[in-house]
Structure 1
Amino acid sequence: MRRSLSGGDQLDAAVAECVTLLRTLTERDWRDARAAGLDWSCRATAEHVADDLVAYAGQLAGRARDAYLPFEIRFEEGTTDSGVVDVIETGGALLAAAVRTTPPRVRAFHPYPFRSANRQGFAAMGVAELLLHTHDIARGLGTVLQPSPELAEFVLQRIFPEVRPGVDPWETLLWATGRGELPGRAPVRGWRWHNNLVLPTERLTLESATPAALDELRALGDGGFSWLADGPLDGTREAAGLVFSSYEKGSLRAEFGLFVLVRRADGLAIGSLGFHAAPDGDGRTEIGYDLVPEARGYGFATEAVRAVGEWALGREQGDVDSVFAVVEPKNLASRGVLERVGFVGVGEDAEGDAYELRRYRL
């Protein structure tokens, strides 16, 4: 039931829509016309789009780990605006090819905000560059881009997880990037997109699920992951639905959502670990976890809980003072996981025994 794609099809569609419009404008003066809302000319903006598309393709194809690859494209003297559009079209094709041929769990360097992105992240960034800057160029030249709403939704659900969806995805994306207004929402003065967080451990990769993945998981899909045995279990699907509900309400803090646990040895997802919500006013947040039976008994849950506990209470997450978990009294295995990580019992609530891991215990 997979509804999300690698991003290659969306890149193809975005290139087609944007290039078609840009070609109708190449008889105008791009060098002297300023792109709407930018300090760049329409020509400089178009060159920026071409450069970014080729750079993103290079990052993925080259598996860049620590920085941008040290190259850039340069246009030959005398290149026409139509020639720049040709390069945009070519750069889009290169990025789409890189996206389609890159394995789904591979990540490459991008600075915002966690220094890496997967193929869907790069695809979404590429589509965003195409749509938003074609919009800027078009407005600077006196016309309007009206892209397919599905393309704007693709971007929003992958790199704008903390933006509450609106009735019109394109208008929402324009608002989220400081290019428009939405009724009942304050103007956006500064913004950055938000690739998903990944936490590596010795044997696992904990991958934060994007709204697109959450939506698919709750709808009985696989979320873009290959699962061990009969995964994902009902607990993972229920957790995905709760986190997606937070996204729909605009209350999601992306890194305090749902992590899918991927086994490094074979790339199979074996379970999930999720936050019930972002930290409250007392710096308290609660977690729950779910592992397919075939992966239990090997220490994977302990490894995942320890990684999330260390991350949540680490220096970069200064608003978290304690992490809670509640287990049923008869669930000795789950209690053992918490105790091995350093959680201590702090009483009972309606759902079972409560455990806590505080900042000073790390």
Structure 2
Amino acid sequence: MRPISGDDVDRAVASCVAALRPAVDRDWEGTGAGRLEWSCRRTAEHIAGALMAYAGQLAGRAQKAYAPFGITLDEGTGNAGLLHVVETTGVLLATTVRATPPGVRAFHPSPFGTADREGFAAMGITEALLHTHDLAEGLGLDYEPPEDLVESVLAWLFPQVQPGPAPWPTLLWASGRGDLPGRAPVTEWRWHNNQVIPAERLTLTGIRPAVARDLRLGGDGGLDWLGGGPYEGTRDAAGFLVKAYEAGVHRPEFGVFALVREEDGRAVGGIGFHGAPDEEGRVEIGYDLVEGARGRGYATEAVIALTEWALARADVDVVLATVEHDNAASQRVVARAGFTRATVEEERTARDDHGVDTGLRLYIRRA
């Protein structure tokens, strides 16, 4: 996996400035930016303001709202000066991303209330790429950003979007800026930062498709794993997540989470859903721990946190867990988390109607 980094922010901003510099002598204030209602001047100011805001959120560890500041250009600043401001704010965001430790999160509303350093980097990159497209369209310039940057932001910020035949047309379509054969036009959109669910000693950290792809291929997903890597169940779950993403059916909130220990930031296991809730409001969870983390109550803590989060939703009425008959430790985990053993009839229905393996015990917790 090639993680999103400050270097990627630098590259995105450099591509923006290189594309726009030939037109600095044009009238940006009187020219519309593509399909936007803004002028080219206003759009370029927005790029700089977004980069600065993301740097400020991350550097200041803002938790409840945007930090109350913005950019005001000096009177008489021309287009060349404005591009210099874009370059400068890009450096500020890139530097902040590099200096921020893993796991630090700050406020951003879309859609779960916070973002990590990779999320802020990806958002800054997306702002630069898409709005440079808008400017270039308004000014009659050619622009196509580095393909690997576009592919990265799709896998980090657009987990709900099925990959298309090429990254750049897919991102333009996903942001309402273009058409994609076989797909309906997009009229409303937003990106998705990964979700985190707090537990007592753990943070359940949502795994993005980019991270899942690396885990599936035997990597560490950019996480510091106790024991050097995840247990096989987490890798299997990551593989299913990637398949769902590639098929365009991935629901980020019902994905896979890494269990990150608060005391040292090390990942000790994985937990997640087998899919989105069905028409009966049923959802199934699964989990595992690396060997060195077992016997300390982490699994119970994680199962409680994820189950209570799910049951608080309007679309979930029942959470299921299946456990091997001889796995007494896992049976104790779900029992401590408030699950009860299914009745004979419930297990029969689960086998006949939902394909539950006959070699597994079914446990249920209801809202």
- Note whether the superposition's TM-score is higher than 0.5: yes
The CA deviation at 1:36 is 0.7
Matches within 5 A, 1:278-357: 278-314=276-312, 317-346=313-342, 347=344, 348=347, 349-357=357-365
Q: Say which SS state the counterpart of residue 105 (structure 2) adopts.
A: coil
Letter in structure 1 aligned against 2:270: S
Matches within 5 A, 1:149-164: 149-164=147-162
Residue aligning to 2:366: 358
Residue aligning to 1:174: 172
The CA deviation at 1:144 is 2.6
RMSD of equivalent CA atoms: 0.9
1:9 matched to 2:17 = no
The answer to whether the Cα contact below 8 Å between 2:4 and 2:152 also exists between their aligned partners in 1 is: no
Given candidates 36, 56, 59, the residue that maps to 2:57 is 59
Q: Say which SS state the counterpart of residue 168 (structure 2) adopts.
A: helix
Q: Say which SS state the counterpart of residue 117 (structure 1) adopts.
A: strand
The answer to whether the Cα contact below 8 Å between 2:224 and 2:265 also exists between their aligned partners in 1 is: yes
1:165 matched to 2:163 = yes
For residues 260-286 of structure 1, what are the alpha-carbon distances to aligned partners after superposition, in whole Å with 9 as ceiling and x for unaligned? Answer: 000001110000001111111111111
Residue aligning to 1:87: 85
Alpha-carbon distance in structure 2 between the residues aligned to 1:230 and 1:17: 37
Alpha-carbon distance in structure 2 between the residues aligned to 1:101 and 1:6: 14
Q: Say which SS state the counterpart of residue 38 (structure 2) adopts.
A: coil
| % identity of equivalent residues | 57
The answer to whether the Cα contact below 8 Å between 2:4 and 2:122 also exists between their aligned partners in 1 is: no
TM-score, with normalisation over the residues of structure 2? 0.95
Alpha-carbon distance in structure 2 between the residues aligned to 1:209 and 1:25: 41
Residue aligning to 2:189: 191
Q: Decide which moves more: 246-255 or 221-230.
A: 221-230
Alpha-carbon distance in structure 2 between the residues aligned to 1:29 and 1:98: 33
Letter in structure 2 aligned against 1:354: L
Letter in structure 1 aligned against 2:280: D
The CA deviation at 1:139 is 0.3
Alpha-carbon distance in structure 1 between the residues aligned to 2:227 and 2:149: 33
Which consecutive unaligned segments of at least 5 residues does structure 2 have? 348-356
Matches within 5 A, 1:217-232: 217-232=215-230
Which consecutive unaligned segments of at least 5 residues does structure 1 have? none
Kindly tell me the number of residue pairs found equivalent between the two proteins. 355
Letter in structure 2 aligned against 1:357: R
Letter in structure 2 aligned against 1:37: R
TM-score, with normalisation over the residues of structure 1? 0.97
The CA deviation at 1:234 is 1.2
Alpha-carbon distance in structure 1 between the residues aligned to 2:267 and 2:88: 35
The CA deviation at 1:6 is 4.2
For residues 31-88 of structure 1, what are the alpha-carbon distances to aligned partners after superposition, in whole Å with 9 as ceiling and x for unaligned? Answer: 0001111111000000011011011011111111111111101001100011110011
